Chain A
Amino acid sequence: MSTSTVAHHDEHADHPSGIMRWLTTTNHKDIGTMYLTFSLIMFFVGGCMILGIRAELFKPGLQLMNPDFFNQLIGVHALIMIFAALMPAATGFANWMIPLQIGAPDMALPRLNNWGFWLLPPSAILLTLPFTLALFGIGDGALATGWTFYPPLSVQGGIGVDFAIFAVHLLGISSVLGSINIIVTLFNMRAPGMTLMKMPMFCWGWLITAFLLIATIPVLAGAVTMLLTDRHFGTHFFDAAGGGDPIMFQHLFWFFGHPEVYILLLPVWGFIPQILETFSRKKMYGYKAQVYSLWAIGALAVVVWAHHFFTAGMPVPALLYFMYSTMAISLPLAVLFFCWIKTMWKGSMSFETPMLFTVGWIILFGIGGLTGLVLADVAADAQYHNSYFVVAHFHYTLFAGGIMGIMAGTYYWLPKMTGHMYSEKLGKLHFWLTAISFNLTFIPQFFLGLAGMPRRIPDYALQFAEFNMISSIAAFVLGLSQLIFVYNIVTCARGGKKATDQVWEGANGLEWTLPSPPPYHSFTEQPVIK
């Protein structure tokens, strides 16, 4: 790469202030901040929904809501947590950190970047608006099919389904734009000397995520569009009476849906090793092995989709293929776990909040991964499928593996982003409350599932009462503990102990060579990697 493409930037600090700064900004740090703030707000919106659910499930009987509203809450909770909380958080980190990590002044396509973000608030409104409309007697509320949109239920549903379809379209466009930007940035704007195999692991995680998004989002967009035409324009893609097949939707949906799991996790697998090497004061073990494993997982991600609906009926060879290919994911994943632990091994570890979250993350995500291996077994899956066992499993991968990872990243980079140290005491309190209440929420759900409680039911038989009560109480503790997280972030943004440039004693990499917080335009002189 020639140095001319990153010509000297003027330190023009005359960008607009107030609301116009945020509406018109093309600065990667501003956009990153907006993504992260949006994500945090939506995390609470989705969280409040699920606390409503857990309150309803506190004891048998219908206490708070009718079954239809219950169904709306579970589906919108999932869509918000996946598309509006987890994905924007990862994109926020990408915006903030990828240019800093590769020594670029900004993202390659800054205007696209702005557009990508500003598609998010309208889609969040589309998702939640039907709740409000229903209050005024328009329509019968939000999407009540669960986040998976399965027809024929979604064909039967009310306007909430249409709102959700358009929301997913907008979110999808936003993700694809973000992905294009990241790929272009990573391929073209690395500092001289930074070969691909010298890129920080977070960049690798995101590069593969971006390819997965571009490969699979169009399939989802196509599937929900077919659903839309089935609903309103008389097509029969998913209607057997017209020669269609409801199960085809499941194939299309999960062709996106399974890679989506890795889309949520790969960015986290990127920065977790960086946190480990920082707090172990030792270079990460097996850089190459990790990169190859990430690629292997990315490739396997798009060929295992049907394990999400083994019980829908498939020929024996298909069942066997999807079972064995799913089990094969454990191989590259085991390499990753091995490298993470080997990075810690004989390091000189200290346990600040990011490291605590990372260690907790490894353990809890391990539970999610291992239960996933068991779920791959077709015969046993007949029992686990759509039971609370599955609910517990994917919360171990997506709450522990996703959101707790994002929390580790937040504490890790917050001093860099704000220039202040957060309260270590509150951070640790937040970690312990989160880890303990998370387990108390979801371990009972494993047992509930095995004992035979189906998911997505608003009321349950008396034999499930005790574990549901434990789970509900713990869920409220989990929810309330997140207020500490917000308090800690807000106070850190407003002031506190100055952070040094390097912030952490063991931190290495270009982002730690800049001041904390980095100037509005960073790398006015291009760094060179030897």
Chain B
Amino acid sequence: MSLFKKVGLGLAAIMASFMAKADYSWNFPEPVTPMALDTLHVHNKFMIITMVIFVVVLAIMIYSIFAHRKSKNFKPVEDKAPSTTIEIFWTLIPFAILLLIDFVIMGIPAYHSVVMMEDTRNEAKMVVKITGSQWRWQYEYLDGDAQGIKLVSNLSTPKEQMDKGFEGKKDEQYLLEVDNRLVLPVGEKVRILMTATDVLHNWWVPQFGSSRVAVPGFIRETWVQVDKPGTYRGQCKELCGKGHGYMPVVVDALPMEEYKAWVVAKKEEMAKASAGADKEWTKEELIAEGKSVYEKNCAVCHQVSGAGLPPAFPALTGSKITTSPIFGADGKYLPDSHLDRVLNGKGVMPAWKSTLNDSEIAAVITYERNALGNSVGDLIQPSQVKSARQ
């Protein structure tokens, strides 16, 4: 074991004990992927090198500050240009040391790290697509057993805990908890495809050591291989508007059997949800479901009360769109109707058709028309949303 590894692991151990208190942690959190481990080693090594440089240079300067003072009657000497062989030698030595540090001691491991970081395909066992949107993450399993599973992951910290004047105790995972977590199997290399629907986002879990910008209209790649079961948390790391601080990442890494069980359970749940789209819902059911969908997805801009934040985010209470008819005489939804706007979006309003399912869209529309100070009285069934999609 090299000296750097020892020091690195030592630091990691100290770190872990700090993490237990989680208050004054001063280094990277415990790494759980090969990439994060590599990053931690690189970081510790570079920090030690730069600190040694810093201390040596500083020591020379501080010695000079105390020794060569006017108040000690030190008489200034005159410098000569480095003309003799010895002086040239002493000029070149520091240069050589620096070249060695930059391009050998730091440069070579850095090269290997980069190559490892960018190798997203070799030995990858599965592919997950991550889509960043204002202000949530969507996860889609593209192959293997889990193919077809789609998750939308929203912040689930209660809104009142963030408000000013909140005197109660905030959740332990304040701002770092979501409704649907990304679930990954332990020990498998997972290739991650990254994109966005609106602005730049950056999917970052510090304990994974990978971070990649999600660019709308482009696919970026990275990979993770979580080697230790557990729950890992991170945040969006690219300024993406007013909800930037409110789109956490939470990943559950499960042992293979548990992961497989989760896949089965999730698929059943999804089948049940799509069956729900075909049944007839009552208005009360729709409004109850709609309230939770609204508060999770819409309230961040349109506010819990429906008052919005004009001019950027219009009020829903009494607005033209939420109070005018949805369907025309031919039974098709009207352009610029409530359903059109929720499905397809416009301007800053995102299109929800790929994020929410039929029941959720029907529920939230019904809720918006019959709550938030509106009382239009009508309702819309999931089956109508389903046919509107075609």
Contacts and interface: CB of A to CB of B under 8 A. Distances in A.
Interface string A90-121: 00000000000000000000000000000000
Interface string B226-263: 00000001111111111111100000000000000000
B39 A71 contact: no
Interface in B1-44: 22-29, 35-36, 38-39, 42-43
Given A152-B216, A454-B236, A63 B164 contact: yes
Contacts of A169: none
A217 B64 CA distance: 41
A179 interface: no
Nearest to A451: B25
A481 B76 CA distance: 35
Given A153-B239, A366-B54, A311 B212 contact: yes
Q: Which of B28, B76, B118 has the most CB of A within 10 A?
A: B76
Contacts of B218: 240, 245, 247, 313
A380 B209 CA distance: 8
A496 interface: no
B174 A60 contact: yes
Contact of A67 (B26, B204, B236, B243): B243
Interface in B285-340: 309, 311-312
B129 to A, nearest CB: 15
B57 A374 contact: no
Interface residues of A, number: 92
A137 to B, nearest CB: 8
Contacts of A362: 61
A41 interface: no
A351 B71 CA distance: 10
Given A61-B164, A350-B69, A378 B57 contact: no
A380 B235 contact: no
Given A156-B199, A347-B76, A348-B76, A386 B237 contact: yes
Given A327-B106, A466-B23, A152 B170 contact: no
B39 A456 contact: no
Among A153, A344, A452, A458, the one with the most B-chain Cβ atoms within 10 Å of its Cβ is A452
B265 interface: no
Nearest to A68: B242
Nearest to A246: B215
Interface in B137-170: 161-164, 166, 170
Interface residues of B, number: 98
A312 interface: yes
A145 B26 CA distance: 29
A323 interface: yes
A225 to B, nearest CB: 21
B70 interface: yes
A313 B213 contact: yes
A461 B102 CA distance: 36
B239 A150 contact: yes
Contacts of A139: 311
Given A331-B95, A351-B65, 17 more contacts: A60-B170, A71-B242, A240-B216, A245-B217, A283-B78, A324-B102, A324-B107, A327-B103, A327-B107, A344-B64, A344-B68, A345-B60, A378-B117, A380-B39, A383-B43, A386-B238, A447-B27
CB-CB nearest 9 A-B residue pairs:
A240-B217, A379-B113, A457-B245, A452-B206, A370-B50, A447-B26, A282-B76, A67-B242, A313-B220
Interface of A: 60-64, 66-68, 71, 139-140, 144-146, 150-153, 156, 158, 239-241, 245-247, 280-283, 285, 309, 311-313, 316, 319-320, 323-324, 327-328, 330-331, 334, 337-338, 341-342, 344-351, 359, 362-363, 366-367, 370-371, 373-374, 377-380, 382-383, 385-387, 446-447, 450-452, 454, 456-463, 465-467
